[in-house]
Amino acid sequence: MKHARIAWSGAIHDAVEADGQLLLTQGPHAGRHVSFDEVVWLPPLAPTAQARTVIALGLNYADHAKELAFKAPEEPLAFMKSQASLIGHKAFTRRPLGVAYMHYECELAVVIGRTARHVKKADAYGYIAGYTVANDYAIRDYLENWYRPNLRVKNRDTCTPIGPWLVDAADVPNPMALSLQTTVNGKVTQSGSTADMIFDVPTLIEYFSGFMTLNPGDLILTGTPDGIVDCQPGDVIVTEIEGIGALTNTIVKATP
């Protein structure tokens, strides 16, 4: 099943995809169908009691590591983001004034389903609630070699669209063989496969849960393959993963 979290009719609702529409699943309008265009799409994630942990991977596809002139890492290169950087499907992302290179990153996002600590690779899939699509924008002008990638590059307001759907893990039989692609104004600029991750999803869960507790609702953004290009105000970026969803985002100019 594909789950969404939307604003409609003055309130926030949980919904599922049904015959090309959204079926509201709780509240006074439960059972009602609304069209995709009628709603505001929020990140497809239930609120958490404490700040959601958002782990992101750098250089987790060999071709992207090469593209950025790095040798493949020997252990996962991870950084943490805040949930305040997340925005939903069909939202606007600000490009700061005067920057030269802002690029998208299409990433398979793993949503943790139950508390994970010291989980072995072989058991890792049992801890996953589902998957969604994230676009982990970076503004390379701000890159500095201190705790790189630094938060000014990677933890900006509006710069992490996520959604539209949380797809149940049971409906994704092999998350390690999904095609990914990104289009800019309809033209394909990035294509790859999750099969090419350096550290696959079970390996990542074993690695992180080896020293920290992952809680339900926590996210792992698993990195992006080759094919990043600059995005300008007005560009429509669609990051899509086979069977998971197509996440649309529009770049807007930041106000001075």
- The residues that touch other proteins, with contacts defined as CB under 8 A, are 50-53, 55, 77-85, 117, 142, 144-152, 155-157, 210-215
Least Å distance, CB 95 to other proteins, is: 13
Least Å distance, CB 33 to other proteins, is: 34
Q: Which is nearer to other proteins, 15 or 86 (CB)?
A: 86
Q: Which is nearer to other proteins, 16 or 151 (CB)?
A: 151
- Structure token digits, residue 124: 């890792």
CB 157 within 8 A of CB 94: yes
Task: Map tokens 């009719």 to a residue.
Answer: 9
Residues 6+ away with beta carbon under 8 Å from 170: none
Q: Which is nearer to other proteins, 1 or 51 (CB)?
A: 51
Q: How many residues does the chain have?
A: 256
Least Å distance, CB 148 to other proteins, is: 6
Least Å distance, CB 213 to other proteins, is: 4
| Closest among 72, 86, 109, 112 to 239, alpha carbons compared | 109
Judging by DSSP bridges, how do beta strands 11-18 and 2-8 pair with one another?
Answer: antiparallel
Q: Which is nearer to other proteins, 79 or 165 (CB)?
A: 79
Residues 6+ away with beta carbon under 8 Å from 47: none
Least Å distance, CB 76 to other proteins, is: 9
With the C-alpha atoms ordered 171, 174, 175, 178, is the resulting torsion angle positive or negative?
Answer: negative
CB neighbours of residue 181 within 10 Å: 19
Q: Which is nearer to other proteins, 48 or 232 (CB)?
A: 48
